[in-house]
């Protein structure tokens, strides 16, 4: 599970065991000790699952994902290609 970006208490990660749409998982805290998490699709930049984040926080997360979308998609595609 590589960490792609940390912004304040938000950790943007790529979960290599998860498949489906390109997405990042965002934790407030760490994966093992988090107060909130969200999964954000990268192809459409939208929240597909969340727990514990307020709508205002989700909007901030979406802005950050939009800003780093290209880099996140490159990391996702690199991982998919490495799986053969």
pLDDT confidence of residue 67: 98
pLDDT at 72 over 80: yes
When the pLDDT of each residue in the chain is averaged and rounded to a whole number, the result is 92
Rounded average pLDDT over 56-67: 98
Residue 83 lies in a domain: no
Residue 32 to residue 84: CA distance in whole angstroms: 29
The verdict on residue 84 lying in a domain is no
Q: What is the pTM of this model?
A: 0.91
Residue 59 lies in a domain: yes
For residue 18, tell me if it sits in a domain. Answer: yes
- If one counts the domains in the chain, the total is 1
What are the φ and ψ backbone dihedral angles of 59, each rounded to 5 degrees?
-65, -40
**What is the pLDDT at residue 81?**
86
Domain residues for the domain of 35 are 3-76
26: in domain: yes
pLDDT per residue over 8-25, tens digit each?
Answer: 999 999 987 767 889 999
What is the per-residue pLDDT for 18?
Answer: 67
């Amino acid at each position: 599970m590589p960490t792609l970006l940390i912004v304040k208490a938000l950790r943007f990660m790529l979960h290599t065991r998860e498949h489906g749409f390109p997405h990042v998982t965002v934790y407030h805290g760490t994966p093992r000790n988090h107060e909130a998490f969200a999964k954000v699709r990268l192809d459409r930049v939208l929240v597909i699952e969340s727990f514990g984040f307020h709508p205002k926080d989700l909007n901030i997360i979406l802005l950050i994902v939009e800003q780093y979308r290209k880099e996140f998609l490159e990391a996702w595609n690199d991982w998919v290609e490495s799986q053969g």
